Amino acid sequence: MGLFRTRSAAVFGIDAHLIDVEVDLYSSGSSRDFITVGMPDTAVRESRERIKSALMNSGFGYPAKAVTINLAPANVRKEGAGFDLPMAMGILGAMGTVSQSEQFLLVGELSLDGSLRPVRGALPIAVCARREGVRNLIVPQENAAESAVVDGVKVFGARHIAEAVAMLKSPDQYTPAAARTAAPGAIADVPDFKDVRGQTTAKRALEVAAAGGHNVLMVGPPGSGKTMLAKRLPGILPPLTFEEAIETTKIHSVAGILPKGAALLRERPFRSPHHTVSDAGMIGGGSGQLRPGEVSLAHHGVLFLDELPEFPRNVLELLRQPLEDRGVTLARSTMTLAFPASFMLIGAMNPCPCGFFGDATRECRCTGAIIQRYLGKISGPLLDRIDMHIEVAAVPYKELRGRDDGVTSATMRDRVIRARDRQLSRGWYNAEIPASQLRSVCELDDAGERTLEMAVRRMGLSARAHDRILKVARTVADLDNAPKVAAKHLAEAVQYRSLDRNYWT
């Protein structure tokens, strides 16, 4: 009996880093000593009782010596119960039950009976194992399919510590887990746009937004279909690429919201937080280990904010950085973490508190001061970062009772995918065109220059709004399969930018 080493990993942000677990047994005045060093948090320190009960109840026994466990490197904080399994295996190794195994990385939380519970961040841990050259990974059974997505690592899912010991001794006797992923072309079970009566302009605007990855603000009275339209948007978005799926799945894995037994996410996330969401809930953070917020959970997908002015203004202002930088940096006294946050923002709101300002059929009961106070919750800088502003008017009775226009989500999705393929041939989606490339990608003819100049002068648009109009016009041209941006494409893009001046002036 003596010193024994195992390997595990700690998750920081959406990435994992290798942790060496060193276990030493030694004679002491008290055999009850169990010391964990290396900046463990409370959950790691409490593992002492879980490990002891798990080993005893699994028939392995427990050493009648003092135990010292070092989690290296010592200058990195260790959090969570995922270190239970490697620490317990280290004790068994120090007792002589298992032999040295440098080519295994272990992670898992122990129950008192020795069974293994799932942990957060299994996918980043598998990526870490491959990066560090560790060929074998033992995780709880519930995390096996998720981890098996990573090529180059044999993933073994264990239900009990006794099974993990057997895998460590004879890995050839066990079959590695296989990843279960949805078909790349699968469409999520979301409502279809063919169910929406009327709203031709709004549906066209959302198709343009989906094609270019643009942010949208919908303004209209209650019951006009704003939420109905937004919930159908995921059905026209293309499936995630493999690289996008890996990054999205890592975020959901770290947050602990990956469905049980799920492997690689294939559908773009759709997040719709309540307007009572906190700063940390929206952007990320929290006490102890920093967690991704809604903007990161919507990465490569849609963040839908219904009743936009009901959100606290300070929460809405926090969206400005991720909308511009497509990422979030959380700085704390002990660490700084970066989470990706490239998402489509879809906002929906009424034009006033009663909802009928500007409506031709219903009288608005709000005073001018009340309307301005309500609209003032959406700041100018935030509006500038929203590419498209569209009006969703109440649906007339004839359109409400008429036949649908025959345009399905599948048809719209095909057009969106073709438009995005054209954009990827240039290196980026239109919403992400770098400022240095904007003029060359969105080159205008004389008629287009006159149209844009007139729009900027009459509407008093900012430089950022000018750039947003060009990007939307490029998307309209891509949907039209046009190599250059024409005046008609620019005119449609300007149409999607006029509501902020109609309501906010």
pLDDT band at 411 (very low <50, low <70, confident <90, very high): very high
Cα maximum dimension of the chain: 90
Closest Cα to residue 50, out of 119, 97, 116, 2? 116
pLDDT band at 360 (very low <50, low <70, confident <90, very high): confident
Our CA dihedral for 466, 467, 468, 474, rounded to 10 degrees, sits at: 110
- What's the CATH number where 484 sits? 3.40.50.300
Q: Name the residue type at position 178.
A: A
Alpha helices in 336-408 (DSSP H): 368-375, 380-384, 397-401
Closest Cα to residue 302, out of 310, 313, 294? 294
pLDDT for residue 73: 92
Q: Flag whether 272 is in a domain.
A: yes
pLDDT of residue 13 exceeding 90, the answer is no
Q: Flag whether 186 is in a domain.
A: no
pLDDT band at 446 (very low <50, low <70, confident <90, very high): confident
Where do we find the tokens 């074998």?
A: 136
pTM score, whole prediction: 0.88
Could you tell me if 217 and 309 lie in one domain? yes
Q: Name the residue type at position 332.
A: R
8 A C-beta contact, residue 6 and residue 106:
yes
Question: Which residues form the domain of 361?
Answer: 193-399+406-503
Q: Flag whether 265 is in a domain.
A: yes
pLDDT for residue 470: 92
Could you tell me if 197 and 341 lie in one domain? yes
Q: Flag whether 390 is in a domain.
A: yes
pLDDT of residue 475 exceeding 80, the answer is yes
Could you tell me if 228 and 168 lie in one domain? no
Give the model confidence (pLDDT) of 247-264 as tens digits.
999 999 999 888 877 778
How many structural domains does the chain have?
2
Residue 113 class from Cβ within 10 Å (0-12 exposed, 13-18 middle, 19+ buried)?
exposed
Question: Which one of 141, 173, 205 terminates a domain?
Answer: 173
8 A C-beta contact, residue 16 and residue 125:
yes
For the ranges 16-30, 133-147, 341-355, the lowest mean pLDDT is seen at 16-30
Geometric angle at alpha carbon 18, from 40 and 124, rounded to 5°: 100
Could you tell me if 148 and 199 lie in one domain? no
Q: Kindly state the tokens that stand for 411.
A: 């048809």
State mean pLDDT over 303-330.
93
Could you tell me if 436 and 288 lie in one domain? yes
245: helix, coil or strand? helix
Could you tell me if 382 and 475 lie in one domain? yes
Give the model confidence (pLDDT) of 138-179 as tens digits.
999 999 999 999 999 999 999 999 999 999 988 889 999 886
Could you tell me if 255 and 291 lie in one domain? yes
If one compares 33 and 328, the residue with the highest pLDDT of the two is 328
State mean pLDDT over 182-186.
48
Nearest 5°: phi and psi at 252?
-70, -30
Q: Flag whether 236 is in a domain.
A: yes
Could you tell me if 269 and 367 lie in one domain? yes
Q: Flag whether 183 is in a domain.
A: no
The mean predicted confidence, pLDDT, of the chain is: 88
If one compares 472 and 178, the residue with the highest pLDDT of the two is 472
Q: Flag whether 188 is in a domain.
A: no
